[in-house]
């Protein structure tokens, strides 16, 4: 069983669902309480044992690379002002030297194309994909839960989350053929089926563990929905050659790629924040009372 050492984070998207904020700020850098949304996803990857993160970037995403680098002027100022706690916090978030790579997608050709752009860095080993639009609030982290399932079953694993049965036409859902606790062996994935035709109410939730053979299918993949290279199309082909499982993880996902989902994430993380949690709870309660 080969260890999951590397993860791909596709961060090249424009963030059109949260414009105009993302006109000048990468959507992944929008703050959720006191840190960028992307930091939560990176922390989830590191908690799961990921040793190397591949950021697939695009134009105007330099802020992401800068964020995961040293800021000498800021650090020097904090040191001079004896703000030790802040300095230590900043340093604790720095990736180890050589543990990150940044590759350019160059043109918006879809999620499958973004993952394919990381092929040379990933090499011939299984890897994780984490969509930075999605924050998953859970202990242990969603990817840690998936790695544990992978160590037991191998193959490929995607994260799924139960949704209301009347909302399947908003999501990609899986077709399960067997179940072992919260782990399902899959037979297919169905994109946005009508509730009357949906094979399940288990929605695909932005976390994947994939075997490297996926790159062969992505290499040959023709544009699909939206005239883009779709990761799900390549996964459907990989499913014919390699076992595929879906893990109904323990946790709550937040879609930060939408305005309401982003607001929900800010509230959820604020009420659990060690510094402002009690104040955030009181504020939300007061807002509910006044409305």
Q: What is the pLDDT of residues 90-148, one digit of tens each?
A: 888 899 999 999 999 988 788 999 999 999 999 999 999 999 999 999 999 999 999 99
59 pLDDT tier (thresholds 50, 70, 90): confident
Question: Model confidence at 230, in pLDDT bands (50, 70, 90)?
Answer: confident
Domain that holds residue 184: 6-290
Q: How far apart (Å, rounded) are the C-alpha atoms in residues 244 and 150?
A: 10
Instruction: Average the pLDDT over each of 57-61, 188-192, 221-225, 269-273 and give the range with the smallest value.
Output: 221-225
Task: State what percent of residues in the chain have pLDDT above 70.
Answer: 99
How many other CB atoms are there within 10 angstroms of residue 48's CB atom? 23
Task: Find out whether 28 and 11 touch, Cβ atoms under 8 Å.
Answer: yes
pLDDT band at 47 (very low <50, low <70, confident <90, very high): very high
Whether residue 104 lies inside any domain: the answer is yes
Handedness of CA 3, 65, 261, 290 (dihedral sign): positive
Dihedral sign, CA of 245, 247, 248, 254? negative
Q: Where does 119-269 show beta strands of DSSP type E?
A: 127-130, 134-137, 156-162, 172-180, 183-191, 202-210, 244-248, 252-255
* Residue 145 resides in a domain: yes
Q: Which range (51-55, 84-88, 105-109, 192-196) has the least confidence?
A: 105-109
The span from the CA of 137 to the CA of 67, in Å, is 22
CATH code where residue 16 lies: 3.90.550.10
Q: How many CB atoms lie within 10 A of CB 182?
A: 13
CA distance 57 to 12: 4
φ/ψ of 109, rounded to 5, equals -110, 15
- The kind and range of the H/E element at 46 are helix 37-47
Judge whether 258 lies within some domain. Answer: yes
In a domain, 1, yes or no: no
Residue 252 is assigned to a structural domain of this protein = yes
Q: Is the pLDDT of residue 291 over 70?
A: no
- Please, what sign has the CA dihedral across residues 106, 229, 213, 219? negative
- Domain count for the chain: 1
Query: d(Cα 263, Cα 268) in Å, to the nearest integer?
Result: 9
Strands 6-10 and 52-57: parallel
State how far the Cα of 209 lies from the Cα of 219, in Å rounded to an integer: 18
């Amino acid at each position: 069983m080969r260890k999951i050492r590397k993860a791909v984070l596709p961060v090249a998207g424009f963030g059109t669902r949260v414009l105009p904020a993302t006109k000048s700020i990468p959507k992944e850098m929008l703050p959720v309480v006191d840190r960028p949304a992307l930091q939560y996803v990176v922390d989830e990857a590191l908690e799961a044992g990921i040793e190397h993160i591949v950021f697939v970037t695009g134009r105007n995403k330099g802020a992401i690379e800068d964020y995961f680098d040293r800021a000498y002027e800021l650090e020097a100022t904090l040191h001079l002002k004896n703000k030790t706690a802040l300095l230590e916090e900043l340093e604790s978030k720095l990736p180890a030297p050589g543990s990150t790579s940044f590759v350019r997608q160059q043109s918006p050709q879809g999620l499958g194309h973004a993952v394919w752009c990381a092929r040379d860095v990933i090499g011939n080993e299984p890897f994780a994909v984490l969509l930075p639009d999605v924050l998953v609030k859970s202990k242990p982290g969603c990817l840690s839960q998936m790695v544990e399932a992978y160590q037991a079953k191998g193959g490929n694993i995607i994260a799924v989350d139960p949704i209301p049965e009347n909302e399947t036409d908003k999501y990609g859902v899986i077709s399960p053929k067997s179940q072992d606790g919260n782990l399902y062996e899959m037979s297919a994935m169905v994109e946005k089926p009508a509730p009357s035709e949906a094979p399940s109410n288990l929605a695909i939730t932005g976390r994947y563990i994939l075997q490297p053979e996926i790159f062969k299918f992505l290499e040959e993949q023709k544009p699909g929905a939206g005239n883009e290279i779709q990761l799900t199309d390549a996964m459907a082909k990989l499913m014919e050659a390699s076992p595929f499982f879906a893990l109904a993880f323990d946790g709550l996902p937040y879609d930060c790629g939408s305005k309401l989902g982003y607001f929900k994430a800010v509230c959820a993380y604020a009420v659990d924040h060690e510094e402002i949690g009690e104040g955030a709870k009181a504020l939300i309660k007061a807002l509910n009372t006044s409305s």
